[in-house]
Structure 1
Amino acid sequence: MAPLKSWLSIPPDSDFSLSNIPFGIINSKNNPSEKRPAIAIGNHVLDLKAFSKANGFSGLPSLKDPLTVFSQPTLNAFAALGQQTHNAVRTYIQDIFSESTSNPQILKDNASLQKEALLPKHETKTHLPMQIGDYTDFYAGKNHAFNVGSMFRDPANALQPNYTHLPVAYHGRASSVVISGTSIRRPHGQILLDKTASPPQPTLTPTRALDIELELGCFLCTTSPLGTPIPIGPAAASSIFGFVLLNDWSARDIQTWEYVPLGPFTAKNFATSVSAWVVLPSALQGFRVQKLQNSTDVLPYLREESDDSVYDIQLEVDLTTPEGDTTNISRVSARHLLWSFPQMVAHHSVGGCAMNVGDLLGSGTISGASGGGGDLGSLLEACQGGKKEIMLKGMDVRKYLKDGDTITIRGVCGEDGARVGFGECVGTIESAIQL
């Protein structure tokens, strides 16, 4: 299919082509005090409040009261309108920017509105797109689960017996979710410096095994009453507002000591980074692929009509040292998931857990199956639990992250001129505070 053409100049390698139209929250040089919704397109953003104020949505009468919806400091009000409205707004904006737009008077031929609402991206700053009430991180990357299980048990027992029967997860900390570009403070926690001591003698100290987790995140757009499950199928699929890149930073030495018997706690609650622009499911529709084959016949409440319920998003991770040398440490497709996001929603709510607009779900670490090390979503896997050094540019090595290191995650689908991308999810490690 030929790329959609716009009257606005969009670089061919932009993540934000006319095929995308992701939503986010900005403030700007000309209005720094107010956070408001926008869409990203090429090297620009369209300020949706300014656009609404100038009757930019006059050609979309089905969108009621756009100025109120797009005057909010988060996307929650827009998300709550549902997928049908999200898709109608996205399609309308695509037409507004199309070379052959049916409404040229609204923006294409309206220089004053372009000046007011079409802002250079470098003159804006992005913020968390949603008000997040709850955050749950799943463990749907089977290759990662197998690799980690093999390290701490053995390949024959790498996956726990429940793994192929249900989407395993832990409840994260919504207050620690931060926007891309936020620095990450090295956390303190209890670790065992001497693993042979009996009885164990933990020490409170900054983590020495600070790690990343390459994930996708999913924001929800529906609310379910307490006690009412969201069934698999259209209901679960329509509960999804859109997707972001996600890095669930992890302190592996803290995690090893504290996670028995109830799972991760302070080893993961100190920070989770997300990218700024929410990509709608409709923008990713053409990149749906089959998820990993499950050897287990899952229970009916988790059965999907089709297995093409994950996305072939090309993900990559760069590590930049304090000296400025950048090494690509991972390239992998997001297709390497055993469970889809609709299955995660169905299982999360099956006991009657109330789901809300703005809830964030993480996929779990996404790793490939090559075993060669270039498609792994965590340093834990790449360094084999601390046994192997990872070679970097500048004659440097790592097992885990050092202070001053910067991690940059990217994700994109499609070809130049029609790329559907997420931009970047970036975080730089700061030294631990003194306790």
Structure 2
Amino acid sequence: MSSASTWLDLPDDHPFGLANLPYGVFSTNGTAPRVGVRIGDWVLDAGAVAQIGKDAVGVGDGPDLAVAWANPSLNPFLELGHQAWTIARDWLTEVFSEAVHEEAVRPHLIPLGEVTMHLPIAVADYVDFYASEHHATNVGKIFRPNSEPLTPNWKHLPIGYHGRSGTVVVSGTDVVRPSGQRKAPADPAPTFGPSRKLDIEAELGFVVGGSTTLGASVDVSLAAEQHLFGVVLLNDWSARDIQAWEYVPLGPFLGKSFGTSISAWVTPMAALEAARSALPTQDPLPLPYLRGAADAVFGLDIHVEVEWNGTVVSRPEYRDMYWAPAQMLAHLTVNGASIRSGDLFGSGTISGAARDSRGSFLELSWNGTEPVTMTDGSERSFLEDGDTVVLRAWAPGPAGSRIGLGEVGGRILPAR
């Protein structure tokens, strides 16, 4: 048995080892989509194995994982709550650790190349935040060159907008170039047509579990423990020319709502314990409802890579983000807005101080004035038809291991 303590033949440094165990939804050969757990380069048919081992979680008194995992989304499992998530993870760890389970489990391990991955959650509500000070400053300088880059409220609350849950798609789904109104500052009037400044935003998405009632809020000190189930990689495709014309005074709308891509695998927050990091100094001190202990209000040391047409053009660091996931969720609900299992909220673009850590092409090309050079010598400022973008990420795991967050990719198709 390797140092990963599993009976599977896994390299010790595999990013999807025993310390990871992300959840997704898969199908094979036309079978119904259901919940799977990735380990190494296999996918465990989780519901089938849970059916075999129901006694391991206590028939009648524990969560019925076999039923929850037989669904075409993670939502029923998310609704079971934090205690059930912990029971499930402990049980899965035991299943892969103890050789006594190998005979029963191995027939339900499917090679990764033989499965089709689906959207892991039925997205209930989708909110996107704006939590990077570097990104917000850069965008402010580009969009409002004669004003202060950060708006007066930015360091007092996590700014966000409500997106469109129905256009969240799984990695590998093509994205059609959006059309809309565009008006450059020098144009006498707006015109209509395909976006000329199609962009990406490299983000993390946080998957929420456990519902609350209308009128109740989520305490910042309990948000991560009770309601943050896991993390996906998220690409918030953005039409900057449409966005620039429409966003005053109510914010993003058609420039964002046409598509958001997420990774197929949801990395549990429990797999990211070793990746927790301190936030940058928050000055001024946030209002009391946004304050909490360091073990509740934390950042994440997650390393992201942005690949554009095969060229890695940026490596943003999530630890640079100003606002914590728990603060975003607490702010989202402080007015009494309820949450539902399957809610998804994005962190906003992950950007750092250096050019090669900027998480959007708007910033990388400085709105087209500083084109990005690809490996083949071509130059890009914004996305052209046929371009592909892939985001990848990893985080530190226990005992010097790496936790892989998989990837989220998409290709741009011409406007229709």
> By the TM > 0.5 criterion, same fold?
yes
Alignment-derived partner of residue 71 in structure 2: 72
- The answer to whether the Cα contact below 8 Å between 1:17 and 1:417 also exists between their aligned partners in 2 is no
Equivalent of 2:110 in 101, 119, 132: 119
1:383 and 2:365 aligned: yes
- What 5-or-longer segments of structure 1 have no aligned partner? 321-325
- The answer to whether the Cα contact below 8 Å between 2:3 and 2:12 also exists between their aligned partners in 1 is no
- What 5-or-longer segments of structure 2 have no aligned partner? none
CA deviation map 1:302-360 (0-9, x unaligned)? 0021276111011111011xxxxx11011122111111111111111111111111100
1:352 and 2:350 aligned: no
1:185 and 2:185 aligned: no
Q: What's the offset of the Cα at 1:235?
A: 4.3
Alignment-derived partner of residue 334 in structure 1: 318
- The answer to whether the Cα contact below 8 Å between 2:197 and 2:383 also exists between their aligned partners in 1 is yes
Q: Equivalences for 1:364-379 in 2 at 5 Å?
A: 364-370=348-354, 373-379=355-361
Closer, same or farther in 2 for the Cα pair 1:216/1:184, shift >3 Å? same
1:161 and 2:152 aligned: yes
CA deviation map 1:78-123 (0-9, x unaligned)? 111112221221122112112xx1xx333x133xx422x1111111
Q: What's the offset of the Cα at 1:4?
A: 2.4
CA deviation map 1:256-298 (0-9, x unaligned)? 1111110110000000000011111111011100122211111
1:400 and 2:399 aligned: no
- Structure-2 separation of matches of 1:397 and 1:348: 40
1:105 and 2:100 aligned: yes
Q: What's the offset of the Cα at 1:153?
A: 3.0
Q: What's the offset of the Cα at 1:13?
A: 5.0
TM-score, length basis structure 2:
0.95
SS of structure 2 residue aligned to 1:345:
helix
- Structure-2 separation of matches of 1:293 and 1:417: 27
SS of structure 1 residue aligned to 2:232:
strand
- Structure-1 separation of matches of 2:219 and 2:400: 37
- The answer to whether the Cα contact below 8 Å between 1:141 and 1:336 also exists between their aligned partners in 2 is yes
- Structure-2 separation of matches of 1:417 and 1:14: 12
Alignment-derived partner of residue 55 in structure 2: 58
Q: What's the offset of the Cα at 1:6?
A: 1.6
SS of structure 2 residue aligned to 1:304:
coil
Closer, same or farther in 2 for the Cα pair 1:195/1:153, shift >3 Å? closer
- Structure-1 separation of matches of 2:414 and 2:145: 35
Closer, same or farther in 2 for the Cα pair 1:114/1:3, shift >3 Å? closer
Closer, same or farther in 2 for the Cα pair 1:233/1:82, shift >3 Å? same
Q: Equivalences for 1:11-90 in 2 at 5 Å?
A: 11-29=11-29, 32-53=30-51, 55-61=52-58, 63-90=62-89
CA deviation map 1:49-69 (0-9, x unaligned)? 22123x134322263322211
CA deviation map 1:389-408 (0-9, x unaligned)? 10111111000011111100
User: RMSD of the TM alignment (CA)?
Assistant: 1.8
- Structure-1 separation of matches of 2:279 and 2:146: 22
Alignment-derived partner of residue 423 in structure 1: 406
TM-score, length basis structure 1:
0.91
Closer, same or farther in 2 for the Cα pair 1:219/1:172, shift >3 Å? same
Give the aligned residue type for 2:103: D
SS of structure 2 residue aligned to 1:369:
coil
Q: What's the offset of the Cα at 1:412?
A: 0.6
Return 132-141 or 288-297, whichever deviates more.
Answer: 288-297
- The answer to whether the Cα contact below 8 Å between 1:18 and 1:418 also exists between their aligned partners in 2 is no
- The answer to whether the Cα contact below 8 Å between 1:3 and 1:417 also exists between their aligned partners in 2 is no
Give the aligned residue type for 1:74: S
- The answer to whether the Cα contact below 8 Å between 2:308 and 2:387 also exists between their aligned partners in 1 is yes
Equivalent of 1:318 in 292, 299, 307: 307
Of Structure 1 and Structure 2, the greater helix share is in: 2
Alignment-derived partner of residue 234 in structure 1: 222
Alignment-derived partner of residue 323 in structure 1: none
SS of structure 2 residue aligned to 1:45:
strand
CA deviation map 1:8-53 (0-9, x unaligned)? 1224553311110111100013xx2301001000000100122123
Give structure 1 regions of 4+ aligned residues with deviation exceeding 4 angstroms. none
- Structure-2 separation of matches of 1:56 and 1:258: 54
Equivalent of 1:304 in 286, 292, 314: 292
- Structure-1 separation of matches of 2:57 and 2:112: 25
- The answer to whether the Cα contact below 8 Å between 2:44 and 2:110 also exists between their aligned partners in 1 is yes
